[in-house]
Amino acid sequence: MDTHAFKVTHTDAEWRAKLTPEQYQVMRNHGTERPGSCALLHETRQGTFSCAGCDTPLFGSTLKFESGTGWPSFNDPLPGSVETTTDTSYGMTRTEVHCATCGSHLGHVFPDGPPPTGLRYCINGVALNFAPAA
């Protein structure tokens, strides 16, 4: 991911100024928020979840579901909004999800979700903003 040219870029100092310390830790250092700690976990209104780093729309609320994991979970991202890489940290292999526009770490995707896709995009809530539908 480090060699990828993203449409939105910032210096480390600019990212630190733009993001809260928790957002910076998750989005720029590939961290994970504490499960159950984000208000967006319980967001049920219709609307769009976007990247907290660049405002790119990432997930529609219609494919959000309660996974019981403690993080907002979605069946599928909006087309072209996310990219994935292989994450081999912590002695396991997972598929990392990051914003296709700014490269910020969002979470991971697992093949244990409900229909229609069978996928579970497990996303850190601090990496998201929510805009309710008009």
122 catalytic residue (yes or no)? yes
Q: What is the pLDDT of residue 95?
A: 97
Flag whether pLDDT at 4 surpasses 80. Answer: no
pTM surpassing 0.85?
Answer: yes
Choose which CATH entry (3.40.50.1370, 2.170.150.20, 3.10.129.10, 2.60.260.20) describes domain 12-132: 2.170.150.20
Phi-psi sector, 25: left (phi>0), alpha (psi -120 to 50), beta? alpha
- How many whole angstroms separate alpha carbon 1 and alpha carbon 28? 12
Q: What is the pLDDT of residue 134?
A: 86
Domain residue ranges of the chain, discontinuous segments joined by +: 12-132
- How many whole angstroms separate alpha carbon 126 and alpha carbon 72? 10
Per-residue pLDDT tens for 26-83?
999 999 999 999 989 999 999 999 999 999 999 999 999 999 999 999 999 999 999 9
For residue 2, with 0-12 CB atoms within 10 Å meaning exposed, 13-18 middle and 19 or more buried, which class applies?
exposed
- Higher pLDDT, residue 3 or 122: 122
Q: What is the pLDDT of residue 3?
A: 60
Q: What is the pLDDT of residue 120?
A: 97
Residue of 38, 51, 54, 122 with catalytic role: 122
- How many whole angstroms separate alpha carbon 106 and alpha carbon 52? 10
Per-residue pLDDT tens for 84-107?
999 998 899 999 999 999 999 999
